[in-house]
Amino acid sequence: MPHRRHESPWLVKLHNAFYHEATVYMVLEYMDAGSIATLVKEHPQGLRDESELASITRQMLNGLNHLHRHHHQIHRDLKPANVLRSSCGEVKITDFGISSQLDSTTSLASTFVGTYRYMAPERLSGGDYSYAADVWSLGLIVLEVAIGRFPYPQTENYFSLLRLIETAESPCAPEEGGFSDAFCEFVSLSLSKLPERRSSSEELLQHPWLLRHREMDVRLSAMLKALSLEQTGAVPTL
């Protein structure tokens, strides 16, 4: 699926593509800090800084919301390896190879493709699914970053994990993790077993947990700017 048609600050850009010796090569935007999978490996005890967690989550949600609302597409393979980072703090979604275009915001898809560990229960059961399936994947990713491991316990095989995801209660932030109530609620809204009860990407962008940390980011940015002006002796223009 061409990335260029998905032009967005939160989606990895496709600069060029060419064909050589029966192989298609794509020149993608360079993200120099690896993927979210790398971030999880760097924080085996979990990333407990909720401001940083919120920044990562907000950017992923912006990318999903762009796909869902502007292109009527489900990503279908959202996982830590498909979310890339840059050293300046950018977080962007990539790999639209199996994304699915829907006719409208209420259409459903039914094909079984993607990485099964991050599939929503409605997909694993073989039922129809829609944009809410991507939100489930996002919820798992956010929780995985927060606790430093995949949210479900290790199982003996593929079928045991599928059965666990379908039948067990949704994973949640551990009580001993020191996470805020707002974060726990955000995760819960993302990982509702019933897709109709799962919040949309647009609704989650307005969740108090994200709004609170965005306000904190704005205040911190203003303080740093004021400090910089004070140190240089510059006078801010009005």
Residues 10 and 8: their CA atoms lie apart, in Å, by: 5
Q: Let me know if 77 is a catalytic residue.
A: yes
Residues 10 and 116: their CA atoms lie apart, in Å, by: 24
Residue 21 carries which side chain, given as an amino acid letter? E
Residues 218 and 236: their CA atoms lie apart, in Å, by: 17
Entry field: residues in the chain: 238
Q: What angle separates helix 50-65 from helix 208-232, to the nearest 10 degrees?
A: 110
Instruction: Record the tokens describing residue 94, joined without a space.
Output: 């990539």
Catalytic choice (49, 77, 128, 134): 77
Residues 136 and 151: their CA atoms lie apart, in Å, by: 12
Instruction: Record the tokens describing residue 72, joined without a space.
Output: 């009527």
Q: Which amino acids are annotated catalytic?
A: 77
